[in-house]
Amino acid sequence: MKLRSSVVLVASLLLLAANVCITHAQTGATAASGKEAVLKAPEVGDKLMPDKVFFRGQSAPVQARNSGGVKYADGFLVLAALVDSSGYSSGIKEKYQGFLITEVPLEIGGQTLKPGQYGFGFLDGNNFVVMDVAANDVVKGGSTKDAEMKRPVPLQIVAGKEAGKYRLYKGRDYVEFDRAK
């Protein structure tokens, strides 16, 4: 009888310890996800972005070192990375420079982009385009050149001047986006 009581006591203590650990982990996760944050390449590249992405009938390798993102307070993500589009035709290669994954609707240049996976590109003449995976344009608008940027990098996302707004940069060119209401 003593052995059975000891086993029940040990099992109860193990369950209690597991419950404390789970509660602590959930509290930590809630605290960590309670704040919006810009994600840099080491946080996005190999951890959240796939190695290759499908676009217009082919797979293109993702440049993990040239990636970035936004993590919203509720845990939803917006991720972007440049891709190697060398196997594509010149018409697609000109427009398809990066891959965008969004779990929330975005507003870009007054247009709403639904959650999904898209190709994007910064075009000559300060233009920006977002395309569905079949290379159909879904958002077209202007981009801005940031002449004051001291050290441009191939791709980055930075916080905008207003709360909740972010800038997707390719070199010195950028578009501003925010979470659509």
What percent of the chain has a predicted confidence (pLDDT) above 70? 82
Residues 26 and 47 in one domain: no
**Which tokens in the block code for residue 71?**
């993590």
Kindly report the CA angle at 21 between 69 and 26, in degrees rounded to 5?
A: 35
Residue closest to 114 by CA, chosen among 100, 128, 125, 124: 100
As for how many domains the chain has, the answer is 2
Q: Rounded to an integer, what distance in angstroms lies between the CA atom of residue 89 and that of residue 52?
A: 18
pTM of the entire predicted model: 0.80
**Which tokens in the block code for residue 22?**
């789970």
Q: Are 72 and 149 in contact (CB under 8 A)?
A: no
Residues 52 and 115 in one domain: yes
Give residue 2's pLDDT: 54
Q: Are 129 and 119 in contact (CB under 8 A)?
A: no
Residues 27 and 97 in one domain: no
Residues 28 and 45 in one domain: no
pLDDT tens digits, one per residue of 3-40: 454 444 334 433 333 443 333 333 334 335 579 999 99
Q: Rounded to an integer, what distance in angstroms lies between the CA atom of residue 150 and that of residue 112?
A: 31
Residue 6: domain span: 1-33
Residues 84 and 169 in one domain: yes
Residues 14 and 70 in one domain: no
Residue 10 makes CB contacts below 8 A (sequence gap 6+) with none
Residues 98 and 145 in one domain: yes
Q: Is 90 exceeded by the pLDDT of residue 43?
A: yes
Residues 14 and 52 in one domain: no
Residues 27 and 109 in one domain: no
Residues 107 and 137 in one domain: yes
Beta-carbon neighbour count of residue 102 at 10 Å? 23
Q: Rounded to an integer, what distance in angstroms lies between the CA atom of residue 108 and that of residue 140?
A: 9
Residue closest to 98 by CA, chosen among 138, 61, 143, 139: 61
Q: Are 77 and 70 in contact (CB under 8 A)?
A: yes
Residues 29 and 65 in one domain: no
At 181, the pLDDT band (50, 70, 90 cuts) reads confident
Residues 94 and 72 in one domain: yes
Lowest mean pLDDT among 32-46, 77-91, 130-144, 160-174: 32-46
